[in-house]
């Protein structure tokens, strides 16, 4: 079981075509289902050359029915500036990231600072598959089958003090593993934050997997958050520290360009980015995207019914 | 050197240059054929055609300094081809934006041109390229005489607006690594001309 998350990168030949992915349960029945149930993981030895699977139940309540973006597209078109600013950089440069051992520190306004290693986190709550839309602030979107559980599970396990109002996520910033950490693009480490009620919202997913497998490194392995109603940059990757605070934390992108990237950054077709409109988006499916027209962007990325009440009465033009 | 050899040599070299100049387009078509245009093909096509237009702009602006430095006057015979490749790749760049990216949505494009400074600069650059492309033939040169070289000084303005276009495009992400290199090259090429004028380089 050692090094169980430290697996070879995915070759295009190993990527599951959608039709096989659609039959994944059938496919997984061939595997060690009993082991999956007991540990949540299939041991490395059984799958020497394939990415590690995560057992999970589909959460259909929170899942989109739209056409999934292909695994190839999701894993080759990434914004993960620690590994380079080109979309193709992370897939090349993140290979060397060591994701096990991995420890997440919980600190700030908690009864007692704690640490969770990745194996503890993987077992903290049952894994769910949730198909979320991801809307990037740059104007493109994907439909992604994530695997994880609500962040609220971890927050409840953290003994947070009543004075905490915000949560801050701090990503790994290791110059030895992340070649672009010295670049002046952002102030490292990458930090993001949410209001505590946003973080407690069941949609906010502590994410460990994608397409039924452990997260590829370029997608924020071994643990990230996914906040589907906010622009993608709010969903911090490769998290090493979670801090509870009383005051709104500073965030990397807000620090870099406050007029362009607000703290809230809820997906909002009414509030344009200073350099482009946010009214529409290009859906990246991984197939036939050359002539696909843009689609209308929905308020809160289509999750308004679920999350809109948290912002009742707020001026969303002011708190963009 | 007999005149006919001179003419056929420059013609031959110009043909080679045209073939070479089409390689980036061939590469793009090849990538499309290989289904290797990344997850966001429109973005890749926009960026590659934009970059190649800029590269050919740098090459066009290199002709005069290089000719002066080397004394190799034959180089002037390739300036038009290089300049037309600027227009060619800029057209593909704009065409990709208009058709593939914006799906011919005139309102959306118009508001982008007005509201977004980096698109404004791109639009101005492309508009300024037109008079140069139209008057690039020998006949126009003969008709316009001195006016012709005045018109073609627009290339200096275009060099500036194009760099602004690229710079502002990258500004939100503080990702100036590549655009700085181009700005430095353009700056050097324009700076050379300023110095040459006042100091006789």
Q: What is the DSSP secondary structure assignment for residue B102, as one 8-state letter? A: T
pLDDT digits (tens, 9 = 90+) for A181-230: 988 889 999 999 999 999 999 999 999 999 999 999 999 999 999 999 99
Give me the mean pLDDT over the A83-90 stretch: 92
Residue A207 has a pLDDT of 98
Residue A164 has a pLDDT of 97
**pLDDT band at B10; cut points 50, 70, 90:** confident
Q: Give the Cα separation of B96 and B99 in Å (integer).
A: 5
Q: Give the Cα separation of A230 and A316 in Å (integer).
A: 13
Please identify among residues 37-96 of chain B the ones whose CB lies closer than 8 Å to any CB of chain A: 37-43
Q: Cβ–Cβ contacts within 10 Å for residue A123, how many? A: 13
Residue A295 has a pLDDT of 92
What is the H or E stretch that residue A75 is in? Answer: helix A71-76
Integer CA distances (angstroms), A219 to A8, A9, A17, A190, B51, in order: 15, 12, 19, 15, 28
pLDDT digits (tens, 9 = 90+) for B164-192: 999 999 886 777 889 999 999 999 999 99
Q: Give the Cα separation of B177 and A184 in Å (integer).
A: 10
Lowest average pLDDT, out of A217-221, A312-316, B13-17, B39-43, goes to B39-43
Both tokens of B23, joined, read 């390689």
pLDDT digits (tens, 9 = 90+) for B30-40: 998 888 888 88
Whether A203 and A151 have beta carbons less than 8 Å apart is answered as no
Chosen for mutation from A261, A289, A296 (greatest number of chain B CBs closer than 10 Å) is: A289
Q: A79 by DSSP, 3-state: which?
A: coil
Q: Which residue has the higher pLDDT, B6 or B154?
A: B154
Integer CA distances (angstroms), A276 to A231, A304, B116, B120, in order: 14, 23, 7, 12
Does pLDDT of A71 surpass 90? yes
* Cβ-based contacts under 8 A for chains A and B: 65
Does pLDDT of A233 surpass 90? yes
Residue B1 has a pLDDT of 62
Which phi and psi angles does A126 have, rounded to 5°?
Answer: -65, 140
Residue A50 has a pLDDT of 65
Give me the mean pLDDT over the B20-32 stretch: 95
Give the chain B residue whose CA is nearest to the CA of A72. Answer: B39
The neighbouring-strand residues paired with A194 are A167
Distance (Å) from the alpha carbon of A104 to chain B's nearest alpha carbon: 28
Give the chain A residue whose CA is nearest to the CA of B115. Answer: A275
Q: Give the Cα separation of B79 and B61 in Å (integer).
A: 8
- CA contacts within 13 A on the Cβ side of A220: 28
Distance (Å) from the alpha carbon of B195 to chain A's nearest alpha carbon: 33
Integer CA distances (angstroms), A209 to A71, A101, B26, in order: 12, 17, 39
**pLDDT band at B201; cut points 50, 70, 90:** low
Chosen for mutation from A72, A80, A85 (greatest number of chain B CBs closer than 10 Å) is: A85
User: Which residues on chain A are in Cβ contact (under 8 Å) with B171?
Assistant: 275
Give the chain B residue whose CA is nearest to the CA of A287. Answer: B39
pLDDT digits (tens, 9 = 90+) for A89-140: 999 999 999 999 999 999 999 999 999 999 999 999 999 999 999 999 999 9
Q: Give the Cα separation of A43 and A174 in Å (integer).
A: 28
Note whether B168 contacts A: Cβ–Cβ < 8 A: yes
pLDDT digits (tens, 9 = 90+) for A135-169: 999 999 999 999 999 999 999 999 999 999 999 99
Q: Quote ipTM for the complex.
A: 0.75
Q: What are the DSSP calls for A225-281, one per residue? A: EE-TTB-GGGS--SEEEEEEESSPPP-HHHHH-TTTS-SS-B--TTS-BTTB--SEE
Q: Give the Cα separation of A275 and A282 in Å (integer).
A: 16
Per domain, the residue ranges of chain A are 55-311
b/e code A289-320 from CB counts within 10 Å (16+ = b): beebebeebbbbbbbeebbeeebeeeeeeeeb
Q: Give the Cα separation of B98 and A51 in Å (integer).
A: 41
Whether A220 and A83 have beta carbons less than 8 Å apart is answered as no
pLDDT digits (tens, 9 = 90+) for B116-168: 899 999 999 999 999 999 999 999 999 999 999 999 999 999 999 999 999 99
- Residue B53: closest CA among B161, B177, B175, B171: B161
Please identify among residues 95-154 of chain B the ones whose CB lies closer than 8 Å to any CB of chain A: 100, 103, 108, 111-112, 115-118
Residue B173 has a pLDDT of 72
Q: Is the dihedral of CA B100, B103, B108, B110 positive or negative?
A: positive
Does pLDDT of A66 surpass 50? yes
Whether domain A55-311 has CATH 3.90.420.10:
yes
Q: Give the Cα separation of A84 and A63 in Å (integer).
A: 31
Does pLDDT of B200 surpass 90? no
Q: Which candidate from B100, B115, B173 shows the least CB-CB separation from A185?
A: B173
pLDDT digits (tens, 9 = 90+) for B58-93: 999 999 999 999 999 889 999 999 999 999 999 999
Both tokens of A33, joined, read 């289902």
Model pTM score: 0.81
User: Which residues on chain A are in Cβ contact (under 8 Å) with B175?
Assistant: 85, 185
Q: Which candidate from B100, B111, B169 shows the least CB-CB separation from A290?
A: B100
**pLDDT band at B115; cut points 50, 70, 90:** confident
Distance (Å) from the alpha carbon of B165 to chain A's nearest alpha carbon: 12
Q: Which candidate from A185, A274, A289 shows the least CB-CB separation from B41?
A: A289
Determine the Cα angle at A133 with ends A127 and A139, to 5°.
145
Residue A36 has a pLDDT of 41
């Amino acid at each position: 079981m050692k090094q169980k998350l430290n697996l070879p990168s995915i070759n295009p030949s190993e990527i599951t075509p959608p039709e096989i992915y659609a039959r994944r349960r059938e496919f997984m029945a061939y595997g060690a289902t009993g082991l999956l149930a007991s540990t949540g993981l299939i041991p490395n030895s059984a799958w020497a050359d394939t990415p590690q699977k995560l057992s999970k139940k589909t959460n259909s309540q929170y899942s989109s029915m739209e056409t999934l973006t292909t695994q190839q597209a999701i894993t080759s078109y990434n914004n993960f500036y620690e590994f380079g600013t080109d979309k193709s950089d992370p897939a090349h440069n993140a290979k060397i990231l060591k994701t096990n051992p991995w420890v997440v520190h919980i600190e700030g306004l908690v009864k007692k600072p704690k640490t969770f290693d990745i194996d503890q986190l993987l077992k903290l709550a049952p894994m769910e598959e949730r198909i979320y839309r991801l809307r990037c602030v740059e104007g493109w979107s994907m439909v992604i089958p994530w695997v994880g559980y609500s962040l609220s599970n971890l927050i409840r396990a953290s003994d947070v003090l009543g004075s905490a109002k915000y949560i801050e996520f701090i990503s790994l910033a290791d110059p030895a593993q992340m070649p672009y950490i010295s670049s002046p693009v952002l102030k490292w480490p990458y930090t993001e934050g949410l209001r505590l009620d946003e973080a407690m919202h069941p949609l906010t997913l502590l994410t460990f997997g994608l397409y039924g497998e452990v997260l590829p490194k370029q997608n924020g392995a071994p643990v990230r958050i996914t906040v589907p109603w906010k622009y993608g940059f709010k969903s911090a990757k490769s998290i090493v520290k979670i801090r509870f605070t009383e005051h709104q934390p500073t965030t990397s992108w807000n620090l870099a360009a406050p007029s362009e990237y607000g703290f809230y950054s809820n997906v909002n077709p009414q509030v344009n980015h200073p350099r482009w409109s946010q009214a529409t988006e290009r859906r990246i499916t991984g197939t036939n995207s050359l002539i696909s027209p843009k689609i209308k962007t929905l308020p809160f990325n289509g999750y308004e019914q679920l999350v809109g009440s948290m912002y009742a009465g707020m001026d969303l033009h002011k708190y963009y | 050197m007999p005149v006919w050899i001179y003419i056929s040599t420059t013609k031959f070299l110009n043909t080679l240059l045209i073939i070479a100049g089409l390689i980036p387009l061939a590469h793009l078509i090849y990538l499309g054929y290989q289904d290797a245009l990344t997850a966001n093909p429109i973005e890749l096509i926009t960026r590659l055609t934009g970059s190649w237009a800029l590269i050919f702009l740098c090459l066009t602006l290199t002709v005069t300094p290089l000719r002066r430095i080397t004394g190799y006057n034959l180089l002037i015979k390739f300036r038009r081809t290089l300049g037309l490749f600027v227009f060619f790749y800029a057209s593909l760049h704009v065409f990709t934006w208009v058709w593939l990216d914006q799906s011919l949505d005139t309102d959306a494009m118009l508001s982008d041109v007005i509201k977004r400074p980096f698109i404004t600069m791109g639009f101005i650059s492309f508009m300024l390229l037109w008079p140069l492309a139209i008057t690039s033939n020998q006949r126009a040169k003969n008709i316009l005489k001195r006016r012709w070289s005045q018109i073609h000084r627009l290339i200096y303005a275009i060099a500036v607006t194009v760099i602004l276009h690229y710079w502002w495009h990258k500004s939100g992400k503080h990702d100036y690594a590549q655009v700085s290199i181009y700005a430095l090259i353009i700056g050097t090429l324009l700076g050379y001309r300023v110095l040459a004028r006042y100091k006789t380089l």
